[in-house]
A and B are shown apart, each in its own frame.
Chain A
């Protein structure tokens, strides 16, 4: 099992460009999450999907959109990137729908917006 995979691993964008971060899990988990991690700020939840077909805003959703493409895949889109979105982005998944105490994380995408 690969667990949670994320692509790309690194990305540099110019201000105003758009991109989609991809995430897939092969554990048949119901819930999936997108976090950003900034120095001194810890992990902050951007969006989550408690089950296939549902998405909800987290703590810092502005400037992002998500799509739960199917049970395995959950993508994060930046429509018009800003320097404030420079961060490390982690995707995670958990087994139960809408509740968790254990999440499995991917390796992260390091995004720089210039």
Chain B
């Protein structure tokens, strides 16, 4: 079993839709939860990160972490064609832990059509 599981999609939605992207994980030692966005033929870039459980909002994007269920989500409100990309979840342990590097999900390919 991989440390981090993510449905690869693809996911196709109309402009303006609310998008929900999810990952599950198996190691309870993960403390930092990230979402990276990767445009076609580019390197990934950090979109949002959350420490431990809870919600974090940044504009149209909301990240949620439920550590009790080992489940994280990214919501995109009022989705735009420019949001079309692959979204990768990633996780890391605390400083000094053996999980100090990033563990990535497979990525979900999202297309928002006008």
Q: Say which one of B14-22, B64-72, B98-106 lies at the interface with A.
A: B98-106
Contact A107 B42 (CB under 8 A): yes
Q: Mark A73-114, 1 if CB is under 8 A from B, else 0.
A: 000000000000000001010001011111111111000000
**Which of B44-52, B54-62, B77-85 contacts its partner?**
B44-52
Please state if B43 and A98 are interface contacts (CB–CB under 8 Å): no
Tell me if B6 and A42 are in contact (CB < 8 A): yes
Residues of A within 8 Å of B45, CB to CB, are 104-105
* Smallest CB gap from B42: residue in A: A107
Number of interface residues of B (CB under 8 A): 24
Q: How far is the CB of A62 from chain B (nearest CB, A)?
A: 18
Determine how close the nearest CB of chain A comes to the CB of B89; give it in whole angstroms: 10
**B114 located at the interface, meaning its Cβ lies under 8 Å from any Cβ of chain A in the complex:** no
Asked if B100 and A107 sit within 8 Å, CB to CB, the answer is: no
Which of A42, A96, A102, A104 makes the CB contact (< 8 A) with B105?
A: A42
B63 within 8 A of A: no
Contact across chains for A90 and B43 when beta carbons are under 8 A apart: yes
Query: How far apart sit A4 and B44, CA to CA, in the bound complex (Å)?
Result: 12
Residues of chain A touching chain B, judged by Cβ–Cβ distance below 8 Å, are 4, 33, 40-45, 48, 50, 58, 90, 92, 96, 98-108
Binding site for A on B (CB under 8 A): 6, 8, 32, 34, 41-46, 49, 88, 92, 94-97, 100-102, 104-107
**Knowing that A99-B97, A99-B100, A100-B100 are A-B contacts, what are 13 other residue pairs whose CB atoms are under 8 Å apart, sorted by A's residue number?**
A41-B106, A42-B105, A42-B106, A42-B107, A43-B107, A48-B101, A99-B95, A99-B101, A103-B46, A105-B43, A105-B44, A105-B45, A107-B43
